Amino acid sequence: MAAEFKKTIVQVTQTVTTPTTTAAQQNINNNNVETASWQSAHPTLRERNALMFNNELMADVHFIVGPPGESEKVPAHKYVLAVGSSVFAAMFYGDLAEGESEIHIPDVEPAAFLILLKYMYSDEIELEADTVLATLYAAKKYIVPALAKACVTFLETSLEAKNACVLLSQSRLFEEPELTQRCWEVIDAQAELALRSEGFCEIDLQTLEIILRRETLNTREAVVFQAVLDWAVAECKRQGLGPTTRNKRAVLGKALYLVRIPTMTLEEFADGAAQSDVLTLEETHDIFLWYTAANKPKLDFPQTRRKGLTPQRCHRFQSSAYRSNQWRYRGRCDSIQFAVDKRIFIAGLGLYGSSGGKAEYSVKIELKRQGVILAQNLTKFVSDGSSNTFSVWFEHPVQVEQDAFYTVSAVLDGNELSYFGQEGMTEVQCGKVTFQFQCSSDSTNGTGVQGGQIPELVFYS
């Protein structure tokens, strides 16, 4: 899968010791136990039950798991599986119970099936990036909701722009609405990163069409068009076709006409879509006329601009002021720490400008967590002499997790004195998001919780 996650271990109860090997690697076999009283070495029911996982000892059923040529034989115990899954209960003890000693399961990956069984024998869940989606499929197939929930939680906490489109496709397949909503939050806020990711090129056609219909994609249409071209090339390869104009249009079908080409600027269209080989000469000609002619031709492409997302602003000061000897900038750093109670996407900062008339500032802004730089940008802004705030933006919105402190910094370069904030608040409620602020040791220009620069955080939620 294109999704890239870190390994995590979820323990359903606290009495189980985490193993050092993965479920796929572990193959306990006690057929050679020397003593007949091996049970006495394992005093709890859980220990004895866990010892039976993937164990030939007393096994009364075997599964041939995986597609032909890649399958593995897995021993199991009917009673244990029936207690943990209504599907297995019906399979072994229902009216249509199967009598075979070997049961073939070609549609489940062996590693995922072992993770499923391990949970049913021991209440222990060990998930990894490579198998979490296959494990979710197995948990859904055999109706094991606790394992399915653990898989969804794993995916939600590992979700980022580069895997959001793939997980959107999978969340729809598995009918997981909460995971679907989280995918949309990431795709909307970090649309450019999501659409340019390798994972975007791996989605199915239906998911592609759903994304292209999305009103809240927060990116330029030129980015959307290029992503569609990249997807078409990848789809041709999957189908064993050459990436010719005809083949790319064929695999795209009506999805091509979900791109809102007329909402590009004329320059974007001329430098990009008009020079691609996907549009016909007639389409290219008509779009150029649509941009320039008074009598505009009818187009097959949507002409309404996407709504995108509206930035929200967390303002942390109750008033602002200026004095003749401050706030001055000579390359020193203004910095503040913040935490939120809900995952958001930081898009930029609102800064104070000159208190003495129109002035231009260059500024380097930065976002860090535990000393690691997550984003930075070197840009400029022009202030008009008012106490308004002036927005500066990161190149891409940055995902910020809940209940962790982050540091935002701004190093301004300008000759003019500026306004500064007063009566700062340690906690600010912005819609459904609560911000907490604390002073940063990076701040060398006087900014803190009570006063200074960086009056606003600009974000999407």
Residue 86 belongs to domain with CATH number: 3.30.710.10
319 shares a domain with 245: no
Query: Are residue 456 and residue 318 in the same domain, yes or no?
Result: yes
Q: Determine the angle formed by the axes of helices 161-173 and 145-158, rounding to 10 degrees.
A: 160
Query: Does residue 330 sit in the same domain as residue 444?
Result: yes
Establish how many alpha carbons lie within 13 A of residue 160's alpha carbon, considering only the half-sphere containing its beta carbon: 14
Angle at Cα 46 formed by Cα 41 and Cα 52, nearest 5°? 75
Whichever domain contains 440, its CATH number is 2.60.120.820
Concatenated DSSP letters for 118-164? HHHHHSEEEE-TTTHHHHHHHHHHTT-HHHHHHHHHHHHHH--HHHH
Asked if 185 and 150 sit in the same domain, the reply is no
The DSSP code for 327 is: S
Q: Which of 129, 158, 187 is the last residue of a domain?
A: 158
The answer to whether residues 142 and 206 belong to one domain is no
| Tens-level pLDDT at each residue, the chain (461 residues) | 444 444 444 433 333 333 434 433 444 444 434 456 777 777 888 888 888 899 998 898 999 999 998 999 999 999 999 999 999 999 999 887 777 778 999 999 999 999 999 999 999 999 998 899 999 999 999 999 999 999 999 998 889 999 999 999 999 889 999 999 999 999 999 999 999 999 999 999 999 999 999 999 999 999 999 999 999 999 999 999 999 999 999 999 999 999 999 999 999 999 999 999 899 999 999 999 999 999 999 999 999 999 999 999 999 999 998 876 677 887 899 999 999 999 999 999 999 999 888 889 999 999 999 999 999 999 999 999 899 999 999 999 999 999 999 999 999 988 678 899 999 999 999 999 999 999 999 999 999 999 999 999 999 99
* pTM, two decimal places: 0.81
Residues 283 and 383 in one domain: no
Strands 61-65 and 102-105, bridge-based pairing: parallel
Domain boundaries, position 338: 312-460
Same domain? 223 vs 288: yes
Q: Nearest-CA neighbor of 171 among 179, 181, 160, 159?
A: 179
How far, in Å, are 15, 276, 314 from residue 456 at the CA level?
A: 46, 41, 5
Examine residue 58 and state whether it is found in any structural domain, yes or no.
yes
In a domain, 25, yes or no: no
Asked whether 50 and 121 are in contact (CB, 8 A), the reply is yes
Asked whether residue 129 is assigned to any structural domain, the reply reads yes
The answer to whether 138 and 108 are in contact (CB under 8 A) is yes
When divided into structural domains, the chain yields a total of: 3
